[in-house]
Amino acid sequence: ILNVEQSPQSLHVQEGDSTNFTCSFPSSNFYALHWYRWETAKSPEALFVMTLNGDEKKKGRISATLNTKEGYSYLYIKGSQPEDSATYLCAFTSGTYKYIFGTGTRLKVLA
Amino acid sequence: DAEITQSPRHKITETGRQVTLACHQTWNHNNMFWYRQDLGHGLRLIHYSYGVQDTNKGEVSDGYSVSRSNTEDLPLTLESAASSQTSVYFCASSESWRDEQFFGPGTRLTVL
């Protein structure tokens, strides 16, 4: 059974703080790792897709790194703002045609 | 603009009734997926399709069925609705199995 785990499950940070969370996935049969942002009462929207070990992606204050050898990806948010409050999902794609979501990290940024 | 839509957006039904949730995408994507969102479980895959006439079971497929007769639509049927199927249902599509998925707005289903 392929397992994708995210930690922490939830966190609260103050506005202006930087934060990061982790996505752990199987290191074998890796194809791609996706990050999604999911705001309350909306649908998940893709942030990044990463395919190569050592990949780094950046979009504004949000960035992500990938380590396929050890099976983890970090998502960083620099200078968190209240509008960053959302659930951040990662999804692992394997070479065996599997696309598996983690359970997400719920971020709340306090003004 | 291409989009993915779901209908109805809200549905209340009774235990034992058959319910069908519609999903329609204009991306011309081969791959379509149905998920349910439950507290503590995130998104759980119900069924998916990699093309017309292709359907596959996901991790929580019991009590659900899908059919794919064209590229645009993947309706999800609850054969005999149960209270445990009260949830928010999301449909998604992607160009290939490894690409990002585009999600519909969701259908909130309540089974009384």
**pLDDT tens-digit readout, B52-101:** 999 999 989 999 999 999 999 999 999 999 999 999 999 999 998 778 89
Query: Which of A34, A44, A100 is facing B103, going by the closest CB pair?
Result: A44
For residue A20, give how far its alpha carbon lies from the nearest alpha carbon of chain B (Å): 19
Residues 58-77 (A) with a CB less than 8 A from some CB of B: none
Residues in B touching A101 (Cβ below 8 Å)? 35, 42-43, 45
Q: How far apart (Å, rounded) are the C-alpha atoms in residues A35 and B17?
A: 37
The two tokens of residue A42 are: 């909306």
Q: How far apart (Å, rounded) are the C-alpha atoms in residues B90 and A67?
A: 30
Pairing of strands B64-66, B19-25: unpaired
Q: Is the model's pLDDT at A94 over the cut of 90?
A: no
Of A23-27, A91-95, B3-7, B88-92, least confident by mean pLDDT is: A91-95
Q: How far apart (Å, rounded) are the C-alpha atoms in residues B20 and B22?
A: 6
Say if residues B111 and B98 touch (Cβ distance below 8 Å). Answer: no
Q: Is the model's pLDDT at B2 over the cut of 90?
A: no
Residue-level pLDDT at B97 = 76
For residue A79, give how far its alpha carbon lies from the nearest alpha carbon of chain B (Å): 26
Query: Which residues touch B21 (CB under 8 Å, ≥6 apart)?
Result: B6, B7, B8, B11, B34, B75, B76, B77, B78, B89, B91, B107, B109
Whether residue A43 and residue B103 make contact (CB cut-off 8 A), yes or no, is yes
Cis, bond preceding A26 (omega within 30 deg of 0) = no
Whether residue A93 and residue B98 make contact (CB cut-off 8 A), yes or no, is yes
Residues in B touching A99 (Cβ below 8 Å)? 33, 45, 97-98, 101
**pLDDT tens-digit readout, A60-93:** 999 999 999 999 999 999 999 999 999 999 999 8
Residue-level pLDDT at A1 = 60
Report the half-sphere exposure of A85 (CA within 13 A, side-chain side): 12
Q: Is the model's pLDDT at A41 over the cut of 90?
A: no
